Structure 1
């Protein structure tokens, strides 16, 4: 992890504002991801944006945008909460689309199911109107860097 990125991460922790951290990730900027800390959780938001539409007839969000949003949310969640010394690298990502992602704001939360020394497993849930009605759920496995030993 670069010194500049590490500094952004530390500032985000201190301020509770993750905008500077997201600004350093081009894909997060492209699709418009936002992040807010709510106590011990992060809430990720994907604002409605015409550029993210995959089916203009419905209109519905592109499935790849939903997947990218959820994968990036999981990686950022790991980075913020696990204290990993570097950026987590995706090993596997499995996604279940449950409902059409309509043209409105989309939200996601993550939960770390297991974190070992080298691998972390994360569950991600995305919804639009209410968390009780998810539009997609996913499981992600990340390779995380081990902390350097003295």
Structure 2
């Protein structure tokens, strides 16, 4: 596991149970991976949609945590909503995901996330996340 920010390593128990791991950093953005296994198999030889959603959510929260860490801001993250678009069935390959912050406000953030397998230009799923950021002063 490659690390740049120590708090990004602290994956949720759900993410750890699926086998999601921090793969690498690309230009300050964490990229996560999940290897295909029986644990994440839905229909035969295909990734379960819940595992895909978990990978997207993990990458989305991680990119937000990394940016908040970079600017020295401490906040609890609370989901407002998450919308996942399933574009193609995940096959028996390793899947990857990375997020991008589209808006970082004082109280909320909007994040887009993409998951892919063999080609980042051909995502298998995308997500839009809206996250509330709660600080001690709010």
Report the TM range for the smaller structure's normalisation: 0.7 to 0.9
TM value normalised by structure 1: 0.79
> Aligned-pair RMSD on alpha carbons?
2.1
CA distance in 2, matches of 1:13, 1:138: 23
4+ residue stretches of structure 1 with deviation over 4 A? none
Runs of 5+ in structure 1 lacking a partner? 1-10
| Structure 2: unaligned runs, 5 residues or longer | none
- Comparing 138-147 with 118-127, which one deviates more in the overlay? 138-147
Moved more, 132-141 or 69-78: 69-78
The answer as to 2:53 corresponding to 1:53 is no
The match for 1:97 among 86, 95, 106 is: 86
Q: Larger relative CO (CA 8 A, sep 6+): 1 or 2?
A: 2
**Residue 117 of structure 2 corresponds to residue 113 of structure 1:** no
Matches within 5 A, 1:125-144: 125-144=114-133
Q: Residues 130 and 40 (structure 1 numbering): CA distance in 2 closer, same or farther, change over 3 Å?
A: same
Query: Partner of 2:5 in structure 1?
Result: 13
How far does the alpha carbon of each residue in 1:73-127 deviate from its partner, in whole angstroms, 9 at most, with x for none? 1112111212342331111111111110112100011100001111100000000
1:79 pairs, out of 65, 71, 77, with 65
How many residues were matched structurally?
132
Counterpart selection for 1:28 from 15, 18, 31: 15
SS at match of 2:93: coil
